[in-house]
Amino acid sequence: MLNVEEQKFVETADAVIVGGGVVGLSLARKLALSSFGRIVLLERGQLGAEASHAAGGMLAAQAECDRPDPFLELACASRELYPALSLALLEETGINIELDQTGTLYLSFTEEDERETTHRYNWQSGAGLPVERLTGDEARRLEPCVSERAASALRFPLDWQVENRRLVAALATSAAKLGVHLLMGREVEAILIERGRVEGVQTARGKVFAPVVIVAGGAWASQLMAEVESAPAVRVEPVRGQMLCFDSRPSLARHVIYSPRGYLVPRLDGRLLAGSTTERAGFDKRVTAAGIHNILSNALEISPALANLPLVDAWSGLRPKVVDDLPLLGASAQTRGLFYAVGHYRNGILLAPVTAELVAEEVMTGAARPLMKPFTIERFLQAGVR
């Protein structure tokens, strides 16, 4: 668990960020780098201890997208920010976030898988995205651990990965060095609003007054949002994802390896992650026998050699999901000074850098960049969802 020195309660700020995961920390760092003023980040538990800690760290813009649309554009834009971000964080903090640029394999086993990957290859190559089509044998030459049953594969050379827990540590260290007040164990009970304008937040320890509040609380954001927005569709739902961790020394694989049913993520320290489930279980984060069985079945389909590895850990996290599976970014439609950076669902690690850039820019200038507009609250209001 990340350990950042506790700071005293701050009663006034220029901006309050609610939520200390990778998105909230990225925003805090970005605003601090822009000399925005006094920034207070309030986290209900420990920094990065929820979805950011549980994630696999894949930057899978192409593996996760099913069509050429604004979400793909957003995902690719964020992925492109990672090389510079990795170098900057290393310089600022001395922490290597372990950006691994080996790439991702996406395997096909069944006829349905083949149709899906053929469709994916056609639209991605047609859109000018880097994607390679491989036979099963070519995939096994790259990764000998791949099952003999794999008939073909796609390779995404720009779908990378980072060590998400090191990323959280680096962002928190950078933000603290830049003067951000990082306050843990501070659950926000309400957003303070007066005459249509935000005035700060209420916590159990008192109020923090600020003209800007950014909600980045992941799966716990719904209660705050429900109090200030009339569109019920903007509520954030927790979706449980379980993960398994194996000891893989020597390393079983170099690439991140996907199938349509699961994935393997090799870490530089010899761990091999296998995921994941998609479960509506409320805020229950227990690891279950059914979840373990599901992940193991899908992982063994990818690589039967996994059967010989010792299982060393298992955990789960709660992905924050909005009704249309897309993030909610930018200004509130009803309250001046209130902004959202929530609902990143399966792609919080991937989307954190671009979220920080876009939301921070709107906070500072009052203008939303075109890249962000498909993800604002206006999409619900225009559709008449209230």
The b-or-e profile of 266-279 (16+ CB within 10 A means b, else e) is bbeeebbbbbbbeb
The pLDDT score that the predictor gives to residue 386 is 42
Q: Which of 222-226, 293-297, 310-314 is the least confident region?
A: 222-226
Q: In angstroms, what is the C-alpha Rg of the chain? A: 21
The type of residue at 73 is E
Of 5 and 320, more confident: 320
- Shortest CA distance to 186 belongs to which of 197, 199, 200, 196? 200
Partner residues linked to 107 by β-bridges? 153
Q: Is the pLDDT of residue 144 over 90?
A: yes
Neighbours of 14 (CB within 10 A): 14
Q: Please, what sign has the CA dihedral across residues 156, 161, 318, 300? A: positive
pLDDT at res. 1: 44
Q: What is the pLDDT of residue 383?
A: 59
Distance in angstroms (rounded) separating the CA atoms of residues 343 and 345: 5
Helix intervals (H) in the chain: 22-33, 51-54, 70-93, 111-126, 136-142, 164-177, 222-228, 289-302, 348-365, 378-382
Return left, alpha or beta for 189; rule: phi > 0 is left, psi -120 to 50 is alpha, else beta.
alpha
Min mean pLDDT across 117-126, 274-283, 307-316, 373-382 is at: 373-382
Judged by average pLDDT, the poorest of 117-121, 220-224, 363-367 is: 220-224
47 — phi, psi (to 5°)?
A: -60, 130
In which element (H, E) is residue 275 found?
strand 271-275
| Contact by Cβ (8 Å): 309, 246 | yes
Pairing assessment for the beta strands 152-156 and 104-108 based on DSSP bridges: antiparallel
What contacts 345, CB < 8 A, 6 or more positions away?
Answer: 239, 319, 320, 321, 322, 325, 326, 327
Among 4-8, 50-54, 80-84, 166-170, the least confident range = 4-8
pLDDT on residue 228: 80
- Which pTM does this prediction carry? 0.95
Q: Is 85 helix (H, G, I), strand (E, B) or coil?
A: helix
The mean predicted confidence, pLDDT, of the chain is 94
